[in-house]
Chains A and B, each alone.
Chain A
Amino acid sequence: MEYLLQGFIQGFKLLFSGNPETYSAITTTVYASTLSMICSLSIGVPLGFLLGYKTFPGKKVVRTMVDTLLSFPTVVIGLVVYAFLTRNGPLGGTGLLFTIPGMSIGQTLLGLPIIIAMTANAVESLDKRLPMTLLTLGATPVQMMWATVLEARYSIMLAAMAAYGRIVSEVGISMMVGGNIKWHTRTITTAIALETGKGEFAVGIALGMVLLTVALLVNIGAAGLKKRAVQ
């Protein structure tokens, strides 16, 4: 119990004292997860649209695969990305190992299945008359897609929130691909792992609270966006 209380007090102190180490971890977390979100949304939404909108042979198999990938453990993704990015690996020349973009590649892979599956679901559950209407209005395929995605925007925003929640809280990829390097790739979650490893449980709890606060701020921001979109 003492840990918890100390952690709460220390958490507030960390947040409001402007402790450079904590803020470096916060910036890294926000930077990495934002980069991952941009990538998974810009790749995942079109793919999800195709999967939900088009009919093609083997569609069921692809759906099952995407759904399976939803439960991909983050350490396995970390391991695979590490194996690709290590200097002797196929993508070793890029020098992305132990960098934030390297971490983002792994996190993008983590977020993609969520975005794809939920976007596909959203597109499928839209009014079936929508594409017909759009076609009669003479929409090009790209316009069709934009109109459909726009129609499904709340569901897609929900997908984005779910993906963000998973990305911002994962530790396996950040630890293996990022390496938990102070001032560079140390995120809040890897810092928690480190502090717990050092026996500093109170600092760990404090950082956990900081992460929750960051998540809360992002959610409030998203809710605000949604409200403005509705009006």
Chain B
Amino acid sequence: MKRLLIAALSCLIIAAMALPVMAAQTLMMATTTSTANTGLLDDLIVPKFMKDTGIEIKFVAVGTGKALKMAENCDVDVVLVHAPAAEKAYVDKGVLVDRKELMYNDFVIIGPASDPAGVKGMGVAEALKTIAQKQAVFASRGDNSGTHKKELSLWKAAEMPVPEKDAWYIQTGQGMLPTINIANEKNGYTMTDRGTFIKYADTKGGNPPLVVLVEGDKVLFNQYSALAVNTAMCKDAQYELATKFINWMASPETQEAIGNFKLLGKKLFIPNAK
């Protein structure tokens, strides 16, 4: 029994040795899969922030829903997300403060180039209705992410119930790129943010089997914002670092760098900090 205790203790000691490493200046961030999958964070934000301020960013890429939940659980200091309505709900709850809009791109509805349901060039509401009528396959994230929340709001705006149980409506429960791939395998449609779509087109050598069919509708605007975790709710949250990060993101220099972040010669995010 004694040996067992010693073994368990030594395990804890090894674990504790890793703690001082955590004490260095690191900002914990929860963000959406789109900022991570496009390479914006790994290739631009994280190294540039380190260079400019000496602060390391550790980010966890999950859907917006989970990112906000992680903030509520005090596991992160700052969030970078894209679901304004949900963000406001967390601000009202007092979990998050200092919401700052940083950049945007837009959502698009993509589908096979052959366009089996014939929705090319339609408005969003009309396109969704047509897809439902023709029972063409539509892949939904179904994971409570920012994109999923947006999609649900579009069905609502089209005055249709969410086709939760219809066979042609597939809920993947996965990130954006896997969902696009599933839509492609099933010769169907899906809604995605433009940044992820360009990344997808890039992995397909600039010649993707799914193409943008519906775009430019005002409702498809996709705003990204950063919010700091409220120290009143999480006393250990590093509010100062979070503020530094948010202001740095909004600074003219970083905003320009975000605007210059391109794949296939196309901007993935358009800076719009005020």
Give chain A's interface residues, CB within 8 Å of chain B: 35, 38-39, 42-43, 46-47, 86-89, 92, 94-102, 104-105, 108, 142, 179-182, 184, 194, 196-200
Closest to A196 in B: B178
Residues of B close to A197: CB separation below 8 A = 33, 37, 174-175, 177-178
User: Are A39 and B11 in contact, CB atoms less than 8 angstroms apart?
Assistant: yes
Report 20 cross-chain contacts, Cβ distance below 8 Å, ordered by A residue: A42-B11, A43-B4, A86-B74, A87-B73, A87-B236, A88-B74, A95-B19, A99-B22, A108-B11, A180-B61, A181-B60, A182-B42, A184-B58, A194-B61, A197-B177, A197-B178, A198-B177, A199-B178, A199-B181, A199-B204
Residues of B close to A46: CB separation below 8 A = 3-4, 7
Closest to B235 in A: A87
Residues of A close to B174: CB separation below 8 A = 197
Interface size class of B (residues with CB under 8 A): 35 or more
Q: Shortest Cβ distance from A94 into chain B, in angstroms? A: 8
Partner of B15, one of A47, A98, A104, A194: A104
User: Are B4 and A38 in contact, CB atoms less than 8 angstroms apart?
Assistant: no
Alpha-carbon distance between A35 and B18 when the two chains are bound, in angstroms: 12
Alpha-carbon distance between A99 and B3 when the two chains are bound, in angstroms: 26
User: Are B14 and A98 in contact, CB atoms less than 8 angstroms apart?
Assistant: no
Partner of A179, one of B3, B60, B178, B200: B60
User: Are A198 and B75 in contact, CB atoms less than 8 angstroms apart?
Assistant: no
Closest to B22 in A: A95
Alpha-carbon distance between A86 and B18 when the two chains are bound, in angstroms: 17
Q: A43-B7, A199-B199 are in contact. List 15 more A-B contacts (CB 8 A).
A: A38-B14, A43-B4, A43-B8, A46-B4, A47-B4, A98-B60, A101-B15, A181-B60, A194-B61, A197-B33, A197-B37, A197-B174, A197-B177, A199-B177, A199-B178
